[in-house]
Structure 1
Amino acid sequence: MTEGAAAGEAIWVLADPRAGTAAQPLGIAERLGVPFRAVPLAWGPLARLPWPWPSLAGLAAGAGGAIHPPWPRLVLSAGRRSAPVARWLGRRGARLVHCMRPGFGAAEFDLLVLGRHDAPPDRPTILPILGACHRMSPDRLAAAREEWRALAALPSPRVALLLGGPVRGEGMAPDVAAALGARVAGFAGSVLATASRRTGAPATEALAAALAPVPHRLHRWGAAGANPYAGFLAWADSIVVTGDSVSMLSEAMATAAPLFIADPGGLGPRHERLAASLVAAGQARMLAAAPAPFARAPLDEPGRVAAAIRARGWA
C-alpha cells in the first residue's frame, strides 16, 4: 500500500537497483494491501561474489545506512545479490520471502517464489509460479486504461508489440526488430510498440520504419514524457512479446488479451523453458499462431503469493 513508508514498518522490501528484479517483491508488497518500507539497495564490488553467509558486505559504501532497527517482521526480496542481506535480517527475527533462486542459504528462507520454468523442487517452502512477479495489478491496469483512453481512437485490432533484447549484448539486431514490426503490422489495425533498455537505438529506428505503413504509437526507451507502457497493455486487443523478457511476458499475462511469444533468435534454454511453460499452461502461443485469437484468463501471480503470505499469518 505504501512504498517508502516510515522506518518502523513491519514489512520491508529490499529493492535491487535493477527495475525488473525490484518489481518482483514490490509487486507482492503492493498486493498485501498494508504499509511497507522500500529499502533501496546499491551494490559494491563484493556483491559480485557468491556470498555464502548472511552479510551486508555486498552493499556499496553508505548503502547500509538504510538498514537499521527497529527490525522488520517480514522481508521481501529478489535476486542472488539481495539474498545475503535478507538472510542477515532473518537472523534478527524477520520472516523471509524471496523471489528467484537465492544461491546459498535457500533453507533459511521461509518461502521461495520460483518460476516453473526453473523446475523448482516440490517442497512446502517453495511456491512455483508462472513467469515472475511484477507490479501490473488489476488496479494499475484499470487506472492505465482511464489515463490512456485516447488509445481507443486507434484502429482495432490494437496489437501491443513489446521488444526486449539480448540479455547480455549490445542490443537487438535491427533486421530482427524490422522483421517483427513488419510481421505484426501485417495483421494489426494499429500497433502499440515499445522498446526496452536492451533493444538499442538502431533496432528501435528499424522498428519505426517497419511500422510506418500502419497507424501506430512507438515509445522509445528513455523518451521524455509519460511512459504509455501500462496503457498499451490495458488497451491491447492482443499482445506480442519477445521471449527474452521474463518481466514483460509476466506483465502481459495480467491482461486478458491473447499473448503471443516472438522468438528473436538466440534464446537460451531458460527462456525457451519459460515460453514452453506459458504455452503449456494455455497462457500464450508462439507468434506463428497469430493472429488467431484464443481465450485466456488474466493471471495474477503476485496476488496469489500475497494470499499465501496472509494465509501463513506473516502480514
Structure 2
Amino acid sequence: MDRRELAAFLRSRRERITPADVGLPAGPRRRTPGLRREEAAQLAYISTEYYTRLEQARGPRPSHEVLAGLARALRLSDAERDHLHHLAGAPPAPAPGPSREVRQSILDLLRRLPQAAAIVTSATIEVIAWNDLAAALMEDFSALPRRERNLVRRAFLGPHPQGRRLYGVSDVEEFARMSTGRLRATAARYPGDPEVAALVRELHEGSAEFARLWDSHDVATEPVMTKTFQHPLVGPVTVNCDVLDITDRDQQVVIYTAAPGSPSEQALRLLSVVGTQRMDVPT
C-alpha cells in the first residue's frame, strides 16, 4: 500500500468534482475546490474520520468494499478504479467474463464508415456490433439468435448455407487456427466464466478439427491481411482486413475495405445499396 500516493490521488479526484456533479447543493462560503471530505465520505458510505485519515496518509489498508465505495463516490473511470486498487495494495479482481458492452464512440465509428464493412467482436469472437455494410457482406446479424453470431462456433459447427463455410471466406482454415488460439487465450483470462467453458466444451465435442487445433495448445497466429468473401449476389469480394484492439473491453474492431477502383470496391458499393434484402428469392 502506497499511503502517500493514495492520499494524493484521493485528494485530486475529490477536488475535481463539484457538488452539482453528485446532486449536492453548493451552499454558501465554500472555500474547498470540489467536494468537502465529509461529502466524499458520505457518498462512499464511510466515516469522515476514516476518509480524512486516508487523505492524510494515516489510514489502514481499505477493504474491497471501501474501495468500491470510493470509486463510486469519486466517479472514477475504469482505469482510475484499477489505479486506486493498486495504490491500496489490493489489485482489482479480474473481470468475471468477457465484456459484451460496446462503447458508444465505437458504435458511432461503425456508422461513420459507410464504404467499409466493420464489426466488433468480443473476446469469444462473438459479433456484438456491426454496420449496415457488414450485414450486407456477411449476414444480417440482427436476424440471428445470439449463439449464431459467434464466428468461431459458426466456422466449426455451421450453419454453412449453400455450402459456404463462414460466408465463403478464402482464409477459413487460417481463421480456424487463429480463432482457436484466441479462444484458448480467452479461456486463460477468464478461467471462472461458465459461458467460455461451455463454448470450448461444445466445440471440442462437436468438431474434430477444433479438438485437434485446441489440443495443439497454440495461442499466437499470424493475422490474414487480405481475404475474399464469396457472396451469393455479387460474387467474390476481396478486401483488406484491419483489426483495432479495444484493450479496456477486450474487444476488437474488424474493418474490411476494398482496393480503390477495384471490382470488389464496386461490389461493396452495390451491397451498400442492396443491403440485406434477398435478390435470389421471388417476391
TM class, shorter-chain normalised?
A: under 0.3
TM-score, normalised to structure 1, is 0.25
TM-score, normalised to structure 2, is 0.27
Greater share of residues in helix: 2
